[in-house]
A and B are shown apart, each in its own frame.
Chain A
Amino acid sequence: GQQLNQSPQSMFIQEGEDVSMNCTSSSIFNTWLWYKQDPGEGPVLLIALYKAGELTSNGRLTAQFGITRKDSFLNISASIPSDVGIYFCAGHVQGGSEKLVFGKGTKLTVNP
């Protein structure tokens, strides 16, 4: 269905390491978005993807819209302590309503 399967659920890494997380679904998506949520704040948009195969970077972050349109990944290179937070994938399902559906989040902890 429209559920997004986001993995991993949590990650514990050392500062300087690279991070990768992904989202998959059995549905086809028109967009994939990646958000980051810091404690006590709302999700903030990191990267928006609109075309299958699209690869977009935002500083140390890189995300791709899967060719099948059923998946997306987010990579963070050379992690730093301020990367700590919860990362959410989100997307609009093709043929669905206009609502944005969210994955369950990846909680990232970076040890200095």
Chain B
Amino acid sequence: DTAVSQTPKYLVTQMGNDKSIKCEQNLGHDTMYWYKQDSKKFLKIMFSYNNKELIINETVPNRFSPKSPDKAHLNLHINSLELGDSAVYFCASSQEPGYNSPLHFGNGTRLTVT
């Protein structure tokens, strides 16, 4: 069973569209994250939720809106997509927030905006 699964794996869309990426974890973790990996492979945190509550919100455009219906799911909705949004988006989870809980990552969603 996949521990952290995200869908879709690939997403190609045009500028201006709205799209969503879904993430589910079956590890029983309380905390989930969205990371963005750019073309140079740099990983940067976007959001973190603990038990459905937002705890980390980096300087991300308002066009990005995460939603956590329950602690096993964290979705990412992106409005009015721009070329610069093209990247690989990784979902991750950890037992709890903070430094005693390593992150477990999904396999990523490669978003291409044309």
Contact = CB atoms under 8 A, between A and B. Distances in A.
To the question of whether A and B form a pair in one complex, the answer is: yes
Interface in A3-55: 30-31, 33, 35, 37, 40-45, 48, 50
A105 B40 CA distance: 9
Contacts of B106: 42
A16 B26 CA distance: 38
A101 B45 CA distance: 8
Interface residues of B, number: 24
Given A98-B97, A99-B56, A40 B102 contact: no
Interface residues of A, number: 26
A7 B99 CA distance: 23
Contacts of B108: 40-42
A42 B90 CA distance: 7
Given A40-B107, A48-B102, 8 more contacts: A42-B90, A42-B108, A50-B100, A92-B99, A98-B48, A98-B56, A99-B45, A104-B42
